[in-house]
A and B are shown apart, each in its own frame.
Chain A
């Protein structure tokens, strides 16, 4: 039921999102949009000098309570963590973080930030992802 979805923890992250904004020189970036509701979530990551750990992270964009809260929780979850760990994050981790059952429609909202993260972590030919060349998103959302 819908009201169960909007628990205090989710509302808190929605109204006071953590790590919201931009980084000056992000090492990795990913964005995902959900054309159904016009949501867009962008993630920016800065790595430690050895490029193994996420030193800092920000997210930006617009979305519903579920997509903003899950982005906020995700950034808190990955900050300071090794890439090897965060690259294994999965749908069920997001569901656990949110702590609510998700309808098929709202799952898309919840996973928007995870997809942005997956895009940021895509293997790249050069050490740095350039800003001009975001990898092509997998979903056929068109433009």
Chain B
């Protein structure tokens, strides 16, 4: 494939300066994009440009520079709204990342709306950031938290979903794409069922936003969260999208400047969303630069990205299975079954930590551990997995290097 030779989706690899670094004398093979993505030159330049030309606090100054900064910040909000298919920029709340978005939601919506014994359903494939904020509500107000189980091939168990998402369920919260199994969940269908049962639907899009176009209307969800740093943007900026009527009923999350209309000694009136949830000086640079990262992604184009990444996963699955056969266990659905962006695997009796250490010696960066998804580790009965995860800039050659290094590991640590 031509585009592969050029490197990455539509030849974009050359735009990522960090990928030229060398570790232990070997060029970096970066296979940890599910943890965080690398950034293209344009995005890095946008950060410099912001601080060189635009920096001022927002919503405060009456001088021209502050107005420019405010305009850029609000333009970023509109850009993000377009990215997720939201009608109204005011449905976009800027936060630090997916974790903060989900905590904000569970706290501001959950503490007010949920009562003792209310049923919240998550899935076993959630990242801890979509489990712990709900877990915290088990104490007060005392919700009942259930988890939809996973099948052997890494999909949500349909019959178990129907058993758990019963009439009267208040919340269904689930990930769009699993950060361990690569599963793409059938969100629209599940959201419809959940709505029929009376539940509100929350989508963790941290692992889908970098890989496929989002459209909150088509997905049919009520809230959605993602992180800037996983979509080629900077750290410290993320997004909570919520339906206006739901955001409007929520209490503030943090208190401070910029989120109030009037403060008296005894009473306070709060601004409307999204400002109600953006106390203090926001991450203006983060929002502005994030919008440039989204521009970059869409410039490369979703069709290119999806075709390229489908090819990487199909090829990666085949290389791993083809080379190691039955001695490797690769998790998640088959590539033809919507497997996205991450390949997690284990070798019997070789600890993932050793695998990652030894791969590092060859300049191959992968993640080993529980990947903040201990329910998945429990489900498959392993303490940890090794995970290679892909971004738009990866190539089949990256996988080839991974496999070559893995062969050395197996030779060294495999049982004779």
Contact = CB atoms under 8 A, between A and B. Distances in A.
A64 interface: yes
B413 A11 contact: yes
Interface residues of A, number: 20
Of the listed residues A3, A38, A65, the one surrounded by the most CB atoms of chain B closer than 10 A to its CB is A38
Contact of A1 (B352, B361, B415, B416): B361
A134 to B, nearest CB: 19
Interface in A1-32: 1-3, 5-6, 11, 14-15
Contacts of A11: 412-413
Contacts of B358: 2-3, 6
B111 interface: no
A2 B369 contact: no
B369 A38 contact: yes
B361 A38 contact: no
A37 interface: yes
B377 interface: yes
Nearest to B355: A64
Contact of B351 (A5, A15, A37): A37
Contact of A6 (B360, B368, B412): B412
Interface string B364-403: 0000111000000100001110000000000000000000
Contact of B369 (A3, A15, A36): A36
B357 A2 contact: yes
B127 to A, nearest CB: 16
Interface in B60-82: none
B387 to A, nearest CB: 13
Contact of A2 (B360, B370, B377, B416): B360
B361 A65 contact: no
Interface string B342-359: 000000000111100110
A118 B311 CA distance: 51
A64 B354 contact: yes
A93 interface: no
Of the listed residues A6, A11, A106, A109, the one surrounded by the most CB atoms of chain B closer than 10 A to its CB is A6
Of the listed residues A14, A40, A65, the one surrounded by the most CB atoms of chain B closer than 10 A to its CB is A65
Contacts of B24: 1
A14 B350 CA distance: 10
A62 interface: yes
Contacts of A64: 351-354, 357
B413 A37 contact: no
Given A6-B358, A65-B351, A106-B357, A37 B412 contact: no
Contacts of A3: 358, 361, 412
B353 A37 contact: yes
A65 B358 CA distance: 11
A55 interface: no
Contacts of A15: 415-416
A15 B352 CA distance: 15
Given A62-B351, A64-B354, 5 more contacts: A3-B412, A5-B357, A37-B351, A38-B384, A39-B351
17 contacts: A3-B358, A6-B354, A11-B413, A14-B413, A36-B369, A37-B351, A37-B353, A37-B368, A37-B384, A38-B369, A39-B351, A39-B383, A62-B351, A62-B383, A64-B353, A66-B354, A109-B353
Interface of A: 1-3, 5-6, 11, 14-15, 36-40, 62-66, 106, 109
